Structure 1
Amino acid sequence: MGHNPHRLQVVQRAFTLSVDVHRMADHCQESMARLSPGMRNQLLRAVNSIALNLAEGAGHQSPAKTAAFCNTAIGSCNEVELQLRLARALDIIAADYDPLVEEVIEVRRMTFGFRKHILAKPPRP
């Protein structure tokens, strides 16, 4: 049974996270380009991947396929978290953006929960 991605809180949170990271990256574009060329592009691709994989996975009828998309989203959460921590360590972003790391962790936690929920449902005949 597929899910409407617009009704899933995890998709909504991932979408908002993506918007927030885009805004942060726009604000820090010059320092990112100077200290870590390519970081901005990779960070934006990874953060977009979270919401996009969750939305795509939600539409699948197969719990296994949905779980596979959740796994990809979890991997992207890991990547975004590490990139944000690296940007902070390099002073590319200020402490003002530390809540973004916490939000990535929360979206990842929610994604684990969604995957667990999907896989716990008995298959339909």
Structure 2
Amino acid sequence: MNIPVQSHRDLKVWQIALDLTESLYRLSERWPKHELYGLTSQVRRAAVSVAANIAEGAGRKTTGEFIQFVGIARGSLAEVETLVILARRLDYIGEEVCHALMQDILELGRMISGLIQSLERKRSLS
């Protein structure tokens, strides 16, 4: 039996995106202070954008709008991935931390793609 989604807060993909955002905020607190308005700010904004766009899409009226915002979230996740790789290359994070983050990003990306596919099926049935 499927439980209906009442809010974006019910979406596992949104919850995982918020967890990733929290992790990146805590991790980036330790980055050099000269990066505060550079890489630190950029990775935080990109991570927030993933969860925020999922939430905004869920709050829209049409499935098409939801798909559009989830697509933006997917783009923001690609930005997060790029910034994590850069943080590793600059030695702001270690290899193990980078690997764990990349696994989380990969899984979240799969979930986002699955949500888009599900929404596209729903739209085609309407």
Same fold (TM over 0.5): yes
Q: Offset of 1:63 from its aligned partner? A: 1.2
TM-score (norm 2): 0.87
Question: What stretches of structure 1 of length at least 5 have no aligned partner?
Answer: none
TM-score (norm 1): 0.87
State the AA in 1 paired with 2:17.
A
Please give the secondary structure, in 1, of the residue aligned with 2:29.
Answer: helix
Question: What stretches of structure 2 of length at least 5 have no aligned partner?
Answer: none
Structure 1 residue ranges (4+ consecutive) displaced by more than 2 angstroms after TM superposition: none
Residues matched between the structures, number? 120
Partner of 1:95: 95
Partner of 1:15: 18
Q: CA RMSD in A?
A: 1.9
Residue 27 of structure 1 pairs with residue 27 of structure 2: no
CA–CA distance in structure 2, aligned partners of residues 38 and 54 of structure 1: 25
CA–CA distance in structure 1, aligned partners of residues 51 and 28 of structure 2: 17
Alpha carbons 1:2, 1:61 under 8 Å: kept: no
Q: Offset of 1:100 from its aligned partner? A: 1.3
Q: Offset of 1:3 from its aligned partner? A: 5.0
Q: Offset of 1:24 from its aligned partner? A: 0.5
Alpha carbons 1:88, 1:95 under 8 Å: kept: yes
